[in-house]
Amino acid sequence: MQQFEFTFTVRAPLRAVAEFHRDTRALKRLTPPPVLVQIRKVEPMAEDSISEFTLWFGPLPVRWTARHSGVDPARGFTDTQARGPMKHWAHTHRFTEESSSVTRITEHIEYEHFPGVRGLLSRLLFTPFGLWITFCYRCFATRRILEKPDTRGARHTE
């Protein structure tokens, strides 16, 4: 089983970060171009809620169904692939309050590709480097959406 972890902070209160990730539009907003997300079904975030979507890698569609568990409205959740290209995929999102205006986001993924030809596509699309690029974009997008400009109109940076 492979693991990937990415941690970053955002200058936003814990409540704002948690609410943003519960929003059914978050997946589209956090997916880096040129990948497109087509939402087929999204239930409101709750224990055992389901999301069904297609990731478009150019003309190549990758259908995915995820089930949510460990849902804590303020601290995060896990989405586990119920159906999709991987043999196993469990993505845990954890939110930790660093201060009243800074939240740490930890993204932890445990994943396994199918062996042989069946896993060829996932091994090409979901590499450690590809995941790193994806989560760098997610960090950028989260900050862009949630961080408030300071009084001079500039964004906060670390």
What does the buried/exposed string (b/e) look like for 118-130 if buried means 16 or more CB atoms within 10 Å of the residue's CB? ebebbeebbeeee
- Name the pTM for this structure: 0.90
Structure tokens at 16: 């704002």
Strands (E), 84-144: 88-99, 102-112
Under the banding of pLDDT at 50, 70 and 90, the label for residue 104 is very high
Q: What is the pLDDT of residue 148?
A: 79
DSSP state, 61?
Answer: E
* Average of per-residue pLDDT across 113-134: 95
- Alpha carbon 27 to its chain centroid, in Å, reads 7
Domains of the chain: 2-146 (3.30.530.20)
Tell me the angle at which helices 128-146 and 14-22 cross, rounded to the nearest 10 degrees.
Answer: 120
The answer to whether 137 touches 32, Cβ cutoff 8 Å, is: yes
Q: What is the pLDDT of residues 79-101, one digit of tens each?
A: 999 999 999 999 999 999 999 99
For residue 152, what are its two tokens?
């001079």
- pLDDT exceeds cutoff 70 at 158: no
Cα separations in angstroms, 37 against 56, 64, 109, 123:
6, 10, 19, 20
Give residue 152's pLDDT.
44
Determine the pLDDT at residue 14. 98
Task: Report whether the peptide linkage leading into residue 34 is cis, meaning its omega lies within 30 degrees of zero.
Answer: yes
Residue 150: predicted pLDDT: 59
Quote the tokens at residue 141: 């997008």
Residue 127 has pLDDT above 60, yes or no: yes
For the residues 114-130, what does the mean pLDDT come to?
94
Q: How confident is the model at residue 141 (pLDDT cuts 50, 70, 90)?
A: very high
64 is written with which tokens? Answer: 């995915």
pLDDT tens digits, residue range 16-67? 999 999 998 999 999 999 999 999 999 999 999 999 999 999 999 999 999 9
